[in-house]
């Protein structure tokens, strides 16, 4: 982890009162839950949520990995933005998915096993809500870079409490990835295309599609480790 990020996290942790009560995720959930976070929850995170579900369909992880998305400043109730929807239909050869934008609040975030954000600003906002989410919050490109490197060899497991089941193995991957953040320190943000050029929409959709294919392969491999 970079020193700047360490200081940022330390400041956030120190800003919380000791008696804060925050909702916790269900550790016993048989499914592995992934949430994508952007700003409005109508472009990047919405595309990623439904896109990952699409590329996992028909694999051994269908129904075992659940996808969701939310926004730090969500356009609550809105569907997938028009330009992004066109790219989604083309990229995944399917119809526009049903989507309802929602806020990334503490309760939603606490229920997730892995939180993948589009920019460092989104990560900062999440950690302001709950610093304890740090170990499972990553930039999308950061997580794929770290996980790909980790999976070049068997993951280290606690010999006294080895992970069980698909969800357990994927949670173990997240836990190990959190200890190797330096591997993804240079990972780029995914820029917000909203109300910007057609070229940027295309670039963002292409980047997300590539990252989702990589993420699918990571999840499939890690689930079998």
Report the candidate in 154, 137, 148 with the shortest Cα–Cα distance to residue 210.
148
pTM of the predicted structure, to 2 decimals: 0.86
- What's residue 154's pLDDT? 81
Residues of the chain whose pLDDT is less than 70? Answer: 1-28, 157-163, 225
Contact 91, 209 (CB under 8 A): yes
Fold that domain 31-223 belongs to in CATH = Rossmann fold (3.40.50)
Nearest-5° angle of CA 140, CA 153, CA 217? 40
* Pairing outcome for strands 65-71 and 114-117: unpaired
- What's residue 171's pLDDT? 95
- What's residue 17's pLDDT? 41
Contact 224, 64 (CB under 8 A): no
């Amino acid at each position: 982890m970079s020193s700047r990020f360490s200081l940022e996290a330390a400041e956030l942790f120190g800003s919380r009162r000791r008696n804060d009560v925050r909702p916790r995720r269900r550790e016993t959930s048989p499914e592995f839950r992934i949430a994508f976070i952007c700003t409005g929850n109508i472009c990047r995170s919405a595309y990623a949520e439904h896109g990952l579900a699409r590329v996992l369909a028909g694999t051994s992880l269908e129904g075992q990995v659940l996808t969701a998305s939310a926004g730090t400043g969500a356009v609550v109730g809105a569907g997938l933005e028009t330009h992004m929807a066109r790219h989604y239909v083309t990229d995944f050869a399917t119809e526009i998915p049903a989507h309802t934008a929602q806020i990334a609040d503490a309760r939603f975030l606490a229920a997730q096993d892995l939180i993948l954000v589009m920019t460092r600003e989104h990560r900062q906002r999440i950690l302001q809500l709950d610093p304890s989410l740090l170990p499972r919050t990553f930039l999308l490109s950061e997580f794929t870079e770290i996980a790909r490197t980790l999976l070049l060899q068997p993951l280290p497991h606690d010999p006294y409490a080895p992970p069980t089941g698909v969800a357990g193995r994927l949670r173990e991957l997240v836990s190990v990835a959190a200890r190797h953040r330096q591997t993804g320190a240079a990972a780029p943000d995914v820029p917000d295309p909203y109300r910007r050029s057609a070229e940027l929409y295309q670039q963002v959709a292409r980047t997300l599609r590539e990252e989702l294919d990589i993420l699918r392969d990571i999840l499939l491999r890690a689930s079998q480790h």
